[in-house]
């Protein structure tokens, strides 16, 4: 429950910020895109740089990268890889993808990554690009809508 309370506090702080609904939504969209496109552990610096380039809230952009987190990765990464494999024509199967991901995570070596990695890596980035774009766009429009709606409702008459 502490997490939900903190989330609600942060949510209220964000929607009451001086930023425009577009700025808030763009920060979320960029974070979601980077969170899907790049693997965990490589997202922070690109997220902060993108936030600086697009002049949006850095903390919100960073927080939005956590769409992929230790709880969602076991579901999302195989789907990204499967989708990317279909798009790239590699023909990887879901059991094969799950096995390879477990191998890489369990006993990581650069040699193991090199042996398993090309098709899986390309599939991951292709799928992550697709899902990042779709989920990022969805995040942008839904956040912009809800922030605008909230602010109109709270506007003094």
Tens digit of each residue's pLDDT (9 = 90 or more) over 76-109: 999 999 999 999 999 999 999 998 888 777 776 7
pLDDT of residue 108: 67
**Burial (0-12, 13-18, 19+ Cβ within 10 Å), 20:** middle
Comparing C-alpha atoms, which of 99, 113, 14, 91 is closest to residue 57? 14
Q: What is the 3-state secondary structure (H, E, C) of 84-108?
A: HHHHHCCCCCHHHHHHHHHHHHHCC
pLDDT of residue 15: 74
Tens digit of each residue's pLDDT (9 = 90 or more) over 109-148: 777 767 777 889 899 999 999 999 999 999 999 999 999 9
* CA–CA separation, 5 and 111 (whole Å): 44
Counting every residue written for the chain, the total comes to 157
Comparing C-alpha atoms, which of 56, 57, 61, 15 is closest to residue 35? 61
- What is the percent of the chain with per-residue pLDDT over 70, rounded to a whole number? 96
Q: What is the pLDDT confidence band of residue 156, given thresholds at 50, 70 and 90? A: low
pLDDT of residue 122: 92
């Amino acid at each position: 429950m502490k997490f939900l309370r903190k989330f609600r506090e942060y949510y209220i702080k964000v929607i009451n910020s001086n930023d425009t609904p577009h700025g808030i939504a763009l920060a979320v969209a960029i974070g979601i895109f980077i969170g899907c496109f790049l693997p965990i552990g490589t997202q922070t610096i690109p997220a902060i740089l993108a936030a600086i380039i697009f002049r949006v809230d850095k903390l919100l952009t960073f927080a939005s990268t956590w769409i992929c987190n230790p709880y969602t990765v076991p579901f999302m990464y195989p789907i990204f890889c499967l989708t990317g494999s279909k798009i790239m024509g590699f023909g990887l199967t879901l059991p094969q993808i799950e096995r390879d991901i477990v191998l890489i995570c369990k006993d990581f070596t650069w040699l193991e990554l090199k042996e398993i990695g090309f098709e899986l890596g390309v599939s991951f980035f292709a799928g992550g690009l697709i899902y990042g774009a779709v989920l990022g766009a969805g995040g942008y429009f839904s956040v912009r809508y809800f922030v605008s709606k909230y602010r109109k409702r709270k506007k003094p008459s």
